[in-house]
Structure 1
Amino acid sequence: MTARLAGWWRVLLWALGLSAILAGAAHAHTRSESHSVWEINGANVDLVMTIGEVELRRLAPAAGPPPSDAQVTGYLAARVYPSAAGRRCALVPPVETLSATAGYRKYDFTFRCPSATEISITSRAFFDVAPTHTNFAQIQNAASGEFTEQLITRDRQTVEVTGGEDSKLLTASFLDFIRMGVMHIFTGVDHMSFLLGLVLISRRLRDLVFVVTGFTIGHSLTLALAVTGIIRPHAEYIDALVALTIALIGAENVAVQTRRPAAVAAGVALLLAGMAGLKILGLGGLPSLLLLGAGLFTSNYLMVSGRLQDAGRLRMVITLVFGLIHGFGFAAGLLEMQIPPVRLGELLVGFNIGVEIGQLTLVLAASLAVVALTRLKLAPPRAIVVDVASAFLAGLGVFWFVSRSYA
């Protein structure tokens, strides 16, 4: 009875940890946002900017009144503008204040560009007061009839509209989307490291099928949610969490090989709890709730998986959770491009197929290499390979996780 109660208690802690991770991730979602509609008509550009009053209060002094329309338009005119052939387009006064729903303000800007070629749009507004601000831009090119939607963030404040690299997505074929997915795997060292960890931890083909299936379900779901705009995660937090999944795959291998899951789980918990403590003191980027939830979740998982004789099906669930994180990582590159809404479904299907081709190729190549070396009697004992590779992955993952958390 005592063992059964202990098992239920560990499942409860595991669920609480997962809840805290999700709550921390929700806290990490972008909260500061604005909306812009750009109409490109030759050398003339019209911009309608919609901003919530809560965003405008960021521009006012502490406890001061909200900024006036003249102050807001002056702030925006200096930071939001189109360019053509590398030259900033001239603002044509006056700036009109349009009627808007309660709690919002809307402004209409008109620009005249020196030419109608190589047009780009720039928005530097609000990043000085809210670094995680996101501008949701809708871009209509009257000459070509193209309509695109774009995210403008602190890391990418300028978007090419005509003649730039971003325009390639408009004419890309379905095979191009597949190729993008394949290259995303082969050029992503962190994703390849995670897949290598899955190969190391799978003793049988059935185990490998379980973990790859869970990973696929997870990343396909969040890739679609992120690209369609249903969920907007903080990219910097996702990069750190991807690194944490690599460290945990390596740590689980170490726990299984050494048969000391408690020691490994305690080490992971102490690391994450220590980082959460530093965050409370004002040091670090990841929310303390997210770090504490990750520590609770992962330490209990390591304790459970390290004591099971056959953890294959359990790992399918865990890799599904890890796949949710990696899916946001896959989406980061796509969100930097102009994605035509009419081709969104085609892009998601093609990119996902490409990702699956890339990861299956990598997993099969690694597995076949192991089989070939074993038959040629050139492979060292599996225990040594797993120990060395797992320690390397755990160390690499921790390094990436800490460095990305404090970047």
Structure 2
Amino acid sequence: MSRRVSWRGMSCALLLLGSGVAQAHVKSESHSVWRVSGDEVSLEYSVPLTETIRLAETPGVQPPDSLLLDYFSRHIAVSAKAGDCKVDKPRAVRATDQFRRFEFTFRCPGPDGIELHASAFFDLIASHVNLAQIDKADGRFVEQMFTQDRQTLELEGEGEGLENAGFFEYVHMGLMHIFTGVDHMSFLLGLVLISRRTRDLVFVITGFTIGHSVTLALAVTGILRPHAEFIDALVALTIALIGAENIAVSTRLPGRVALASGGFLLAMILAKLAGFGTLPTLLLLGSALFTVNYLMISGHLRDAGRLRLVVTMVFGLIHGFGFAAGLLEFQMPKDRLAELLVGFNLGVEIGQLTVVFVLLALVEVLRRFSLALPRPIVVDGVAAALVALGLYWFIGRSF
């Protein structure tokens, strides 16, 4: 296989990236924590700088606290069965360098029939979501989402809980999370592409399974909860990286591919230092070091199967947090977390194995009917597409 074919593939990837033809979902999110104690509701509302800038009177300049407080006061409310709840004077509090945070306290005429209302940003971007954690007086917490179609949450008898769901419903949720997750399916395609032998495929699927099982459990049990927007960006980066690895191996030019990948992430770091982007500098730096070293190592090994088991375990750790996002939208029964985790994880495994077997079966059918293209051409073409798609999502989710 000539180098020209491979670099044409990379050029196609860059052209696809620049054209913007591919459609990717770039999330617009804010976060809220509602603490309910009797007839009093306290709210901690956190908004990324990328969202608050939408309210700026001067383009590119962060709006003052007074403007944001006025906007949120008109779009956030609490009501009870006995009437609307009065809000104490809200205030801005210190947050990280990527977020602005505000606190509200609502006092209701009674504790019955409390409803939470949040419509901020839906008038600016319809796909915005607010990830809400609701801490109740009895120690239970609920994780829900405010969306344009669901701007009110009722505290009593919330309808999206999982208390009454059966084991097979948990399995079905995991299954559908794979079948409806284009990013996860894209990553699985990259794993199949890089695995030349069945043994290699077993290694990478095993590592991926171990990794996402660990972080899925950590996230759902509340032990570890990373920022969702960081995880979305890293999931996209893993797709680009698995595509880049395919190109590095097929061209036998891991140094150039690693240099190009590291240069891209270095540019992201410089952009961050200049004030652009939402990912922390240390996260970008760690990603760059990992990417360059992994591409260099994998490109020089004859049998990289065992190495990929370890690396795909790292990838699985990232994707596991992405899987958890699908569960955290629901009220989870604490006394059935083990059953929920086993069922959901089983569904994820069935889903990803189905995707893998369908891909392998498709390849076999094409080969038997002599319709299959030469492997080098397939690797270059699909890997370039994965790089383009992964980078497109990564940049979109980072800025």
TM-score (norm 1): 0.70
Cα distance between partner residues in 1 of 2:338 and 2:218:
12
**1:276 matched residue in structure 2:** 269
* Pick aligned residue for 1:186 from 135, 157, 179: 179
Q: CA offsets per residue over residues 145-201 of structure 1, 9 Å max, x none? A: xx852246787975344565424x232111111100000000000000000000000
Q: Which residue of 1 aligns with 2:116?
A: 121
Q: Secondary structure at the match of 1:307?
A: coil
Q: Does 1:286 align with 2:279?
A: yes
Residues 149 and 341 in structure 1, CA contact (< 8 A), matched pair in contact too: no
Is 2:343 the partner of 1:346?
Answer: no
Q: Give the drift of 1:339.
A: 1.4
Residue in 1 aligned with 2:84? 90
The answer on whether the counterparts of 1:138 and 1:149 sit within 8 Å (CA) in structure 2 is yes
Residues 51-79 of structure 1 show CA distances to partners (whole Å, capped at 9, x for unaligned) of: 8xxxxxxxxxxxxxxxxxxxx9xx99994
Match of 1:198 among 191, 196, 208: 191
CA distance in structure 2 between the aligned counterparts of 1:93 and 1:299, rounded to whole angstroms: 52
- Report the equivalent of 1:17: none
Distance 1:259 1:183 in 2: 37
Query: Which residue, out of 149, 173, 180, partners 2:141?
Result: 149
- The amino acid across from 1:121 in the alignment is L
CA deviations 1:11-46 (Å, max 9, x no partner) are xxxxxxxxxxxxxxxxxxxxx98561356xxxxxx3
Q: Deviations over 1:271-310 (max 9, x none)?
A: 0011101101101111111111111111111000001001
Tell me, yes or no, if the aligned pair for 1:90 and 1:112 is still in contact at 8 Å. Answer: no
Alpha-carbon distance in structure 1 between the residues aligned to 2:379 and 2:229: 30
1:214 counterpart (201, 207, 212): 207
Are residues 49 and 309 of structure 1, via their aligned partners in 2, closer, same or farther at CA, if it must alter by over 3 Å? same
Q: 1:234 aligns with which of 227, 243, 247?
A: 227
Match for residue 260 of structure 1? 253
Sort the Cα spacing of 1:363 and 1:109 in 2 relative to 1 into closer, same or farther, 3 A. same
Cα distance change on mapping 1:78 and 1:311 into 2, 3 Å: closer
Counterpart-to-counterpart distance in 1, 2:260 and 2:345: 36
**What's the TM-score once normalised by structure 2's chain length?**
0.71
| Whole-angstrom distance in 2 between the partners of 1:213 and 1:253 | 19
Measured in 2, the distance between the counterparts of 1:83 and 1:182 equals 38
Please give the alpha-carbon distance, in whole angstroms, between the structure 2 residues aligned to 1:78 and 1:250. Answer: 43
- For 2:115 and 2:108, the matched residues in 1 are separated by 15
- Structure 1's 208 and 106: CA in aligned 2 closer, same or farther, altered over 3 A? same
2:325 aligns with 332
Inter-partner Cα distance in structure 2 for 1:34 and 1:288: 26
Alignment counterpart, residue 398 of structure 1, candidates 374, 391, 394: 391
CA contact (8 A) 1:178 1:355 kept: yes
- The one-letter amino acid of 1:149's match is F
- Structure 2 residue aligned with 1:249: 242
Residue correspondence of structure 1 range 7-86 to structure 2 within 5 A? 36-37=35-36, 46-47=39-40, 49=42, 79=76, 81-82=78-79
Q: For residues 124 and 111 of structure 1, what CA distance do their matches in structure 2 show?
A: 22
Match of 1:362 in 2: 355
After superposition, give the CA deviation of every residue in 1:90-134 in whole Å (9 maximum; x if it has no partner).
Answer: 23899xxxxxxxxxx997844449x95xx6434799xxxxxx998
State the 1:89 CA deviation: 4.0
**C-alpha distance in 2, partners of 1:364/1:211?**
14
> What is the CA-CA distance between 1:372 and the residue it aligns to?
2.2
Residue ranges of structure 2 left out of the alignment (5+ in a row): 1-30, 45-68, 89-102, 121-128
Give the Cα separation in 2 of the matches to 1:34 and 1:324.
26
Q: Which structure has the greater CA radius of gyration?
A: 1
- 1:321 corresponds in structure 2 to 314
Judged with a 3 Å threshold, the aligned counterparts in structure 2 of structure 1 residues 38 and 183 are, in CA distance, closer, same or farther, namely farther
> What residue identity is the alignment partner of 1:311?
A
Q: Distance in 2 between matches of 1:381 and 1:78?
A: 58
Rounded Cα–Cα distance in structure 1 between residues aligned with 2:257 and 2:169: 43
- After superposition, the Cα gap between the structure-2 partners of 1:315 and 1:89, relative to the gap in structure 1 and judged at 3 Å, is farther
Match of 1:159 among 153, 157, 174: 153
1:309 partner SS: coil
User: Contact 2:195–2:201 (CA<8 Å) still a contact in 1?
Assistant: yes
Structure 1's unaligned 5+ residue stretches are: 1-31, 40-45, 52-71, 95-104, 126-131, 142-146
AA partner of residue 378 (structure 1): L
* Distance (Å, rounded) in 2 between the aligned partners of 1:135 and 1:366: 38
- Cα distance in 1, alignment partners of residues 109 and 334 from structure 2: 26
Q: Which amino acid aligns with 1:399?
A: Y
Identify if the C-alpha distance between structure 1 residues 229 and 313 changes in structure 2 by more than 3 Å, giving closer, same or farther: same
The count of residues paired between Structure 1 and Structure 2 equals: 323
Which of 284, 289, 303 is the aligned partner of 1:310? 303
The RMSD of aligned alpha carbons is 3.6
Contact 1:36 1:135 in 2 (8 A): no
| Identity across the alignment (%) | 54
